[in-house]
Amino acid sequence: MLLDVFSLKKSLAVAACAVTFTCALTGSAYANDIADQNQAPQGKTGIGANATNLQTAYDYWERGCFKKLKKDYEGAIADFTVALEMEKDYVAALNNRGLCYAAQEKFDLAMADYDKAIELAPDYADVYFNKAELYLDQDKVQEAVNSYGDCLKVNPKHVDAYYNRANCYADQGMYNEAIGDYSSIIEIDSEYLDAYYARGSAYGRLKQYENALADYEFVLSKFKSFYAAYFMKGLVLERLGRNEEALATFEEFLKRTPNIDIYADRIAAAKELVAELKK
């Protein structure tokens, strides 16, 4: 019996996002960096992480944002706190201070800031998203799913919320629900390759191999260097009894994939699969 990747406990969709470097920028780290993208500092004031002579709450918020990007979380927290002392209802400062507390694993302080931000601005979708990420940091998956849902009620086109909620569903074996969320992403953005790849993994776990194959082939038609998709396509072809095509696909995976640690397990598995298929 060939390696049954589809039965692994951990969601392959999550693992794939960590290693494929596709043109779709997704995942919590990126999303947190742009959580205030509609209010992010544009540099027009000349304020950076080392700016002095600050005068307004916005000035402190802007410098805090630059410090956050440099991972100077203590400095950023100090600036966001000053901004809040000047304007107690400064929602963007609460949200960003919460992100800094979360990065320091000060979960209670982060949650307090997010909850206050939601109280002041219940239509601020990214705060719900960040709150969901905070729950995940604490392995509170159902609470995270609920918060992603709250985010989507406010912004039904928040693709990162769909994506991360789908990954939560997949990790819990709720593959139909995961497929629904991945499909919602594709309806919003037909070029979101990670969603196709992850949906293919969910289809595979449901033994819907033709659907899985279609998703992997779409990914590879758009991005030839999505290495993990070759590996998964090979597995699906083997399940469908198309062994010659499976062998060719695994060999293509081995030819294209860089021999670095992050791919080591799949490369080793692919070599074993090639040997077995050649018997």
The secondary structure of residue 100, as a DSSP letter, is H
pLDDT band at 162 (very low <50, low <70, confident <90, very high): very high
Tokens 């002579």 label which residue?
Answer: 53
Per-residue pLDDT, averaged over 68-87, amounts to: 96
The secondary structure of residue 163, as a DSSP letter, is H
Give the per-residue pLDDT at 26.
29
Give the per-residue pLDDT at 38.
39
The secondary structure of residue 257, as a DSSP letter, is S
pLDDT over threshold 80, residue 37: no
pTM score, whole prediction: 0.82
pLDDT over threshold 80, residue 126: yes
Give the per-residue pLDDT at 52.
64
Task: Give the integer Cα–Cα distance in Å for 57 and 87.
Answer: 7
Task: Give the integer Cα–Cα distance in Å for 279 and 275.
Answer: 7
More confident of the two residues 18 and 109: 109
Per-residue pLDDT, averaged over 156-160, amounts to: 97
Q: Using an 8 Å Cβ cutoff, are 110 and 134 in contact? A: yes
Q: Please say whether the dihedral angle defined by the alpha carbons of residues 76, 77, 82 and 85, taken in this order, is positive or negative.
A: positive
Domains, in order of start, for the chain: 1-24+192-279 (1.25.40.10)
Average pLDDT of the residues of the chain: 86
Task: Give the integer Cα–Cα distance in Å for 237 and 213.
Answer: 8
Could you give the angle at which helices 227-239 and 209-222 cross, rounded to 10 degrees?
Answer: 150
- Retrieve residue 91's tokens: 């929602």
Could you give the angle at which helices 125-137 and 91-103 cross, rounded to 10 degrees?
Answer: 20
Per-residue pLDDT, averaged over 67-80, amounts to: 96
Give the per-residue pLDDT at 46.
53
Give the per-residue pLDDT at 21.
26
Would residue 140 be called left, alpha or beta, if left means φ above 0 and alpha means ψ between -120 and 50 degrees?
A: beta
